[in-house]
Amino acid sequence: MRASKPSCATVRRRAPGRAAPGLQRKWCLRTRRFRSGIAHSVETWIDGSLAGGLYGVAIGRMFYGESMFTRVTDASKIALVFLVRQIARWGYELIDCQMATAHLASFGAREIPRAGFLRMVQELVNYPRDTGEWRVDNDLFD
């Protein structure tokens, strides 16, 4: 897991040297969030090449998934599995996936009624924020 400039948040370009309108501003905001330790990327690397991953924002013990990408089949799924396992160890109780999809449901994601979700968020975001670099515990690879 990395808390530096995200590889998986690379701005897609429309034409050489020109970012799509509005993306440059969003990229600057994301970069600031990574530097402040709020945003984190979880990346899957295969033979030294970035294969896939995801990134999002952590506040308290709540993780807000922002985006997933893959260059190799299932690489983003691998990153998601390691994210879920690691942050569960750290006491995180909720990942906001933003969308209810069959893909996420296959990992155990479920919709929560709005009132319950808001109660959980209100509690979880008030835990102290860890601004250090995230690392996967070595025994998760076993």
Distance CA 15, CA 102 (A): 34
Q: What is the pTM of this model?
A: 0.72
In a domain, 113, yes or no: yes
The residue range of the domain holding 32 is: 13-141
In a domain, 126, yes or no: yes
Higher pLDDT: 20 or 95? It is 95
In a domain, 96, yes or no: yes
Higher pLDDT: 109 or 123? It is 123
Number of domains in the chain: 1
129: left (phi over 0), alpha (psi -120 to 50) or beta: beta
Give the CATH number for residue 118: 3.40.630.70
For tokens 């040297």, name the residue.
17
- CB-CB contact of 84 with 107 (8 Å): yes
Distance CA 24, CA 31 (A): 11
Share of the chain above pLDDT 70, in %: 72
Share of the chain above pLDDT 90, in %: 30
The burial of 27, by beta-carbon neighbours within 10 Å (0-12 exposed, 13-18 middle, 19 or more buried), is given as: middle
In a domain, 8, yes or no: no
Sign of CA dihedral 81, 86, 91, 94: negative
SS3 131: coil
In a domain, 131, yes or no: yes
In a domain, 55, yes or no: yes
pLDDT tens per residue across span 22-80: 544 444 455 555 566 678 888 898 998 889 888 888 999 999 988 888 899 999 889 99
pLDDT tens per residue across span 43-55: 898 998 889 888 8
Categorize the per-residue pLDDT at 89 as very low, low, confident or very high, splitting at 50, 70 and 90: very high
In a domain, 27, yes or no: yes
User: Residue 42: what residue type?
Assistant: V
